[in-house]
Amino acid sequence: MNVITSVAVGIGLAAACGFRIFVPFLVMGAAARLGWLPLSAGFAWLGSDEALLALAVATVLEAAAYKVPWLDHVLDLLASPAAVLAGALAAAAVVTDLPPLLRFAVAVVAGGGAAAMVQGATVLARLKSTAMTGGLGNPLVALVELVGSILTSILALIVPFFLLFFLAALLGGLLVLALRSKGARA
């Protein structure tokens, strides 16, 4: 995988961390185990039996915890900074063939930034769901986030450049909506 492709894959996996923290790492570990994804030095352990088992358990627990309406808000408080860190680590794990300083700069800025953007959108969606449904709609939001994380992780591996285009279009759309709603309130 060339540098540009590995950066695109890294940003896509980092964005998936904004939906759910463990899903992208489980997908990365499985893809590495199958020989589909080269990992940076120091991240080969993601493909081990122990890591895959731990990530699978963590994924199930994280998905289940988000189904509990009051617990999802507590998790959002913890997950917001954790998602940014996970996004940076996910990007660092797959961005190969760059000097270490540049690799970690790309991982922190692009990976952490992509995860922060998606995580921020999920927090806002959950807050809106809580306000509109009293929390009863939050399990549906959690399901959409889980599916979003799975699909984003897989698409990051299969069609990373398409995914980057989609994420950029989504960000643009969110910015337009935010500016319109700000203008409507003024």
For the chain, give the mean pLDDT.
Answer: 88
Domain hosting residue 32, numbered range:
3-175
Does the structure show a pLDDT above 70 at 30?
yes
Asked whether residue 47 is assigned to any structural domain, the reply reads: yes
Asked whether residue 33 is assigned to any structural domain, the reply reads: yes
* 76 CB neighbour count, 10 Å cutoff: 16
Burial 88-97 (b: 16+ CB within 10 A, else e): bbbbbbbbbe
Asked whether residue 181 is assigned to any structural domain, the reply reads: no
Asked whether residue 180 is assigned to any structural domain, the reply reads: no
Asked whether residue 184 is assigned to any structural domain, the reply reads: no
In this prediction, residue 89 carries a pLDDT of 96
Asked whether residue 185 is assigned to any structural domain, the reply reads: no
* Confidence label for 27 from pLDDT (cuts 50, 70 and 90): very high
Asked whether residue 109 is assigned to any structural domain, the reply reads: yes
In this prediction, residue 181 carries a pLDDT of 67
For 25, the token pair is 């790492």
Torsion region of 98: left, alpha or beta (phi above 0 gives left; psi -120 to 50 gives alpha): beta
Tell me the whole-structure pTM to 2 decimals.
0.87
Number of domain units in the chain: 1
Asked whether residue 45 is assigned to any structural domain, the reply reads: yes
